[in-house]
């Protein structure tokens, strides 16, 4: 009974417009998404709006250091002492990483350059509750129209944040091939590239057409060797996202995918996750939005925000 109630609740949402009423560009994007499990948008590449956001993001990370703490310090990992964590790709609560002395706090660093040099983080994560530009990007009208066409209803925004990924020695969770499990039936994730991305700066990877495939479903993570035995690097379905800054890639991440690890420089990547409205769902730990920013969104965008994520 409880399972049936939850499944019914997962389908509660405002009915979306039929695909037949979509514009030709949105319809073409929807067709690609349905066929391949992903689709690329490039309408913001080179725009002044996106350039402004790149400058703001650099300031937030490098000058203001407004990312979340504690952060995993790769240089504190001991291959023998932490062998079990390495095997798990550090898929444990942050409290456990902290208990084992593998994290650093804001009070431990004096500057951005200091933290990169001394702690060698694999990832820095930022939430953006106070900036309209970011939420206008997470809720881009063209992308939303394709999302609604794919799902058949208006979902909610469940996660919205930016990660800066650095070169690292040890894989951390999504560095491995995996499938997302936020929702069994309806799940889309938008990846927003804030810098030009190449293979050696951490290009994202996806296996096209893998959403409904019965392959690779018996464990959480898979190695490159396991995946490439079936979907070789360079094959038509093994998609490598070498794209310019401003690109948005919309994926059904129930399909196989992984985060690339930069070999040089770093990768700034935004994430926006869309799932159905759910019964008994509380606020998300992966984003908040200020009342003032929410008020400035278009009504079409506001309906994607659950009231529990709006803060003062």
Q: Express each pLDDT in 257-277 by its tens digit.
A: 999 999 999 999 999 999 998
Q: Quick one: pLDDT at residue 181?
A: 92
Of residues 10 and 67, more confidence is placed in 67
- Which pTM value belongs to this model? 0.92
User: Does 21 have pLDDT greater than 60?
Assistant: yes
**Please, which residues have CB within 8 angstroms of residue 18's CB and are 6 or more apart in sequence?**
none
Q: What pLDDT does 8 receive? A: 47
Q: What is residue 129's predicted lDDT score, i.e. its pLDDT? A: 82
- Comparing 309 with 13, the larger pLDDT belongs to 309
9: pLDDT strictly greater than 70: no
- The pLDDT value recorded for residue 17 is 55
pLDDT reported for residue 286: 82
Task: State residue 15's pLDDT score.
Answer: 59
Looking at the predicted structure, is the pLDDT value of residue 10 above 70? no
pLDDT exceeds 60 at position 2: no
Q: How many CB atoms lie within 10 A of CB 200?
A: 14
171, pLDDT greater than 90: yes
Query: From CA 96, how far away is CA 87, in angstroms rounded?
Result: 15
Span 134-167, pLDDT tens digits:
999 999 999 999 999 999 999 999 999 999 999 9
Q: What sign for the dihedral angle of Cα 178, 182, 188, 192?
A: negative
Separation CA 222–CA 216 (nearest Å): 8
SS3 assignment, position 157: strand
7 has a pLDDT exceeding 50: no
Closest CA to 123 of 175, 180, 49, 194: 175
Report helix angle 141-151 to 24-36, nearest 10: 50
Question: What whole-number distance in Å separates Cα of residue 126 and Cα of residue 131?
Answer: 12
Task: Say if CB 178 and CB 219 are below 8 A apart.
Answer: no
Q: What does the pLDDT read at residue 25?
A: 96
pLDDT band at 5 (very low <50, low <70, confident <90, very high): very low
% pLDDT > 90, the chain: 86
Q: What span, in angstroms and rounded, lies between the C-alpha atoms of 205 and 224?
A: 11
pLDDT at 278: 74
Give tens-digit pLDDT for 90-139: 999 999 999 999 999 999 999 999 999 999 999 999 988 889 999 999 99
Provide mean pLDDT across the span 287-303. Answer: 95
Is residue 14 over pLDDT 90?
A: no
What percent of the chain is modeled with pLDDT above 70? 92
Q: Average pLDDT in the 60-87 region? A: 96
- Determine the Cα–Cα distance for residues 193 and 44; give it in Å rounded to an integer: 10
The CATH homologous superfamily for domain 22-67+125-311 is q2cbj1_9rhob like domain (2.60.120.620)
Which position has the higher pLDDT, 13 or 184? 184
């Amino acid at each position: 009974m409880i399972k049936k109630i939850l499944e019914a609740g997962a389908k509660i949402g405002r009915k979306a417009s039929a695909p037949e009423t979509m514009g030709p560009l949105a319809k073409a994007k929807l067709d690609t998404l349905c066929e391949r499990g992903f689709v690329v948008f490039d309408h913001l590449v080179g725009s002044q709006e996106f350039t402004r956001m790149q400058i703001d993001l650099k300031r937030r990370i490098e000058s203001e250091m407004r990312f979340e703490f504690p952060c995993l310090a790769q240089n504190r990992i001991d291959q023998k002492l932490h062998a079990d964590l390495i095997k798990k790709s550090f898929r444990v609560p942050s409290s456990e990483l902290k208990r084992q002395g593998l994290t650093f706090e804001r009070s431990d660093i004096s500057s951005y350059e200091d933290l990169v040099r001394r702690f060698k983080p694999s990832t820095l994560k930022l939430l953006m509750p106070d900036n309209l530009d970011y939420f206008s990007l997470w809720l881009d009208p063209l992308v939303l129209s394709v999302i609604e066409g794919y799902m058949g209803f208006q979902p909610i925004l469940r996660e919205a944040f930016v990660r800066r990924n650095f070169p690292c020695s040890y894989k951390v969770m999504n560095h491995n091939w995996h499938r997302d499990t936020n929702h069994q039936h309806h799940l889309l994730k938008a990846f927003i590239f804030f810098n030009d991305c190449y293979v050696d700066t951490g290009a994202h990877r996806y296996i096209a057409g893998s959403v409904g495939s019965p392959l690779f479903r018996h464990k959480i993570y898979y190695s490159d060797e396991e995946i490439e035995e079936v979907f070789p690097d360079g094959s038509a379905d093994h998609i490598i996202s070498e794209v310019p800054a401003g690109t948005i890639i919309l994926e059904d991440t129930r399909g196989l995918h992984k985060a690339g690890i930069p070999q040089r420089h770093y990768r700034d990547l935004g994430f926006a996750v869309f799932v159905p409205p759910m019964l008994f769902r509380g606020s998300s730990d992966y984003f908040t939005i200020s009342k003032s920013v929410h008020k400035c969104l278009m009504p079409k965008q506001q309906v994607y925000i659950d009231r529990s994520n709006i803060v003062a």
